[in-house]
Amino acid sequence: MKKNEIIKDNLYPWGGDFTTGNYQNNVALIALNINYIPHYDIAIYGKLKTENIGIEKIIANVISNPFIRFIIICGGDIRGHRSGTSLICLHKNGIDDNNRIIDAPGAIPYIENINKKAITRFQQQIEIIDLIDVVDEEVINESIKKLIDNKTESFGKPFIAIQMVKESKQSIDDTRALHSKIKINYLGKIEKRM
């Protein structure tokens, strides 16, 4: 596979609240408690709120683009969730048999939708630059510049950890159903579907 033959539709398979830039750039950035917009055209940047699904999304959307080799995590960590620190723990320690991120300080640090292969790939492809608690934009800009100047190679083939597909429709006999477990008549009376 040639370097530039990445299928762009698969670049970031798990949609969300992030901004994309030059997909061949080697830097991704997570802005925790900081309103920061990178001064460079990096691959992708956005927020990270939760220590479970939020982290899974980041893994999926980073290993799908092999050009990304660094993640900068900056700003103060998220209250209670401690999602920034939990991501660092995941990168360093992985998950236990119960899918809990080892030593993560977040409240519910479980990785349930991404398999261990994807985590291993994340650990191998990515180097994390820990700038948690750093809010000085100049320091962050400088760090990005240094990493871009590194001119790293692509990690190889994209790894698609998750493919978001439309939920299959339940076959139900009542078109006014709100959910497969309940049904509702024309007045609004709800009944459990047997």
Partner 1 sequence: MFSFTKKQEVLQIGNISIGGQPGRVPTVLIGGLFFSGKPDFSDAKEDINKMISISENTGNPAICDFFIKKTEYIDDILSFISSTIPEKQPFSIDVTDPNVKVSVLSKLDEIGLLNQTIYNSIHVGITEGELDALKQHCPNTAILVAFNPKDTSPDGKIEVLETGAHVTKQGLFSIAKECNIKNILVDTAALAPGQNSGGSIAALPVIKEEYGLPTGCAIHNVVEKSTWLNNFSDAKGIVDVASNINIPLYGGDFAIFGSVKHANKVFPIIAWQDILISEYVDQYFGVKPSETHPRRMFY
| Binds partner 1 (CB under 8 A): choice among 11, 108, 132, 135 | 108
Q: Which of residues 134-173 bind partner 1 (CB under 8 A)?
A: none
| Binds partner 1 (CB under 8 A): choice among 113, 123, 141, 152 | 113
Closest CA to 89 of 52, 137, 115: 52
Contacts 24+ apart (CB under 8 A), 39-44: 39/137, 39/141, 39/144, 40/141, 40/144, 40/145, 40/148, 42/144, 42/148, 43/67, 43/68, 44/12, 44/18, 44/19, 44/20, 44/68
In the complex, what is the shortest distance from the CB of residue 155 to partner 1, in angstroms, rounded to a whole number? 25
| Binds partner 1 (CB under 8 A): choice among 2, 151, 169, 192 | 192
Cβ nearer to partner 1, comparing 86 with 154: 86
Residue type, 111: I
Cβ nearer to partner 1, comparing 46 with 66: 46
Footprint of partner 1 on this chain (CB under 8 A)?
A: 14-17, 47, 49-50, 52-54, 57, 79-81, 98-99, 106-113, 178-182, 184, 187-192
